[in-house]
């Protein structure tokens, strides 16, 4: 364990080629450039120095270690990185879903419509009022996210009535309307079906309907297309983007697939080893990455016309129990020097306009594919 390891925390009371990696072009930009860059006067969500440490039998896991970002009004923010880099724990911490006996969280998660207080300080009862009504989350695996012994309709009706006292007929109509909106055929009849009677794509659509039941202002979509084939992935992404545009909600889209993120996001943060290593506008990240890890992710994307020619990232992600000194990507980085293991890493301005990278050699990364 590293010398600055914190003490054990106290308990709290797609592999197929995609057609393009071009950033999406919004028909109507949802927010100003300042808001999309995280510098707007009225962000919807602000995360400051978020840390979530997990107590395990092997030691303290620094799952999220000093993460900061903002989400603007009607913005789609992408969060990308390899499995185990802290993406899911970040989302679950924002939603107040981490177990308080084994997870210790610090920092601030400010949902601005409710004031300047941190979500981390709310009681479970207060969190329950906020979840669904203001913040909603779509979880990774649609095959296991729903209760297998309750009908789709029952679970959707529960979400519809959780924050609104509606008579049964109106709640039923609302549920059918939601299933119609997410593209479920014969929604009135399918309300009576159980999860095993839905395909993976239909289950994900049902989960999206449940998440939208109370018209949240911020939707966290955690790997919503991971277990689906490429065609269904594109359908789900298109649906999420359409719903985001129609409702004006903000969205955090989490994925390990940079190609997925670039299709729908205004801005991207790249995570590695529990930290944000780069952030910026989608077009900037794609054309002028400023961190070697982002460059490696882009190089690993398959290209049309080059079948079978894939580039892998050597080595493996660091242990989050015994994190390396200095830059956590240094053991895998082709540009690493002795300075990288002693540098007190921080996000530094790469080229202005909200583009920052956790690399002192950011100016040497370049935009051309290696």
Q: What is the pLDDT of residues 297-354, one digit of tens each?
A: 998 887 755 566 677 888 889 999 998 889 999 999 999 999 998 888 889 998 877 8
Q: Please check the confidence at residue 23 and state whether its pLDDT lies above 80.
A: no
Smallest CA-to-CA distance from 294 within 17, 89, 80, 77 is with: 80
Average pLDDT over all residues of the chain = 85
Q: Please check the confidence at residue 7 and state whether its pLDDT lies above 90.
A: no
pLDDT value for 19: 38
Cα separation of 148 and 224, whole Å? 19
Mean pLDDT, rounded, for 178-200: 94
* Percent of the chain's residues with pLDDT above 90: 59
Show the domains of the chain with their CATH numbers.
1-134+217-313+348-359 (3.40.50.300), 151-215 (no CATH)
Q: What is the pLDDT of residues 120-141, one digit of tens each?
A: 999 989 998 899 889 999 988 8
Mean pLDDT, rounded, for 234-244: 91
């Amino acid at each position: 364990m590293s010398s600055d390891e914190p003490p054990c925390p106290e308990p709290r009371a797609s592999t197929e080629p995609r057609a393009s990696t071009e950033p999406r072009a919004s028909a109507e930009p949802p927010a100003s450039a300042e808001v999309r860059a995280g510098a707007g006067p009225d962000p919807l969500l602000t995360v400051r120095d978020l840390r979530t440490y997990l107590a395990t039998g092997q030691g303290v896991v620094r799952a999220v270690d000093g993460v900061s970002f903002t989400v603007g009004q009607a913005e789609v923010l992408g969060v990308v990185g390899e499995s185990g880099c802290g993406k899911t724990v970040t989302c679950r911490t924002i939603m107040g879903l981490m177990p308080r006996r084994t997870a210790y969280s610090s920092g601030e998660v400010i949902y601005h419509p409710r004031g300047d207080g941190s979500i981390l300080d709310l009681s479970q009862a207060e969190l329950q009022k906020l979840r669904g009504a203001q913040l909603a989350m779509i979880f990774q695996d649609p095959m296991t996210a729903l209760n297998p012994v309750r009908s789709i309709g029952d679970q959707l009706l529960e979400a519809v009535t959780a924050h609104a006292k509606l008579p049964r007929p109106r709640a039923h109509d609302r549920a059918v309307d939601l299933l119609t909106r997410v593209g479920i055929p014969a929604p009135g009849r399918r309300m009576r079906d159980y999860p095993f009677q839905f395909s993976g794509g239909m289950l994900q659509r049902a989960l999206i309907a449940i998440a939208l039941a109370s018209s949240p202002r911020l939707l966290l979509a955690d790997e919503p297309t991971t277990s689906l084939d490429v065609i269904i992935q594109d359908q789900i992404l298109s649906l999420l983007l359409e719903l985001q545009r129609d409702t004006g909600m903000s969205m955090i889209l989490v994925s390990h697939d940079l190609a997925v993120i670039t299709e729908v996001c205004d801005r991207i943060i790249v995570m590695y080893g529990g930290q944000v290593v780069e952030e910026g506008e989608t077009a900037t990240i794609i054309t002028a990455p400023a961190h070697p890890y982002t460059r490696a992710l882009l190089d690993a994307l398959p290209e049309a016309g080059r079948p079978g020619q894939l580039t892998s990232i050597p080595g493996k992600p660091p242990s989050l129990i015994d994190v390396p000194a200095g830059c956590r990507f240094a053991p895998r980085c082709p540009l690493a020097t002795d300075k990288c293991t002693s540098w007190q890493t921080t996000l530094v301005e790469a080229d202005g306009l909200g583009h920052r990278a956790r690399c002192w050699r950011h100016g040497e990364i370049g935009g051309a594919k290696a």
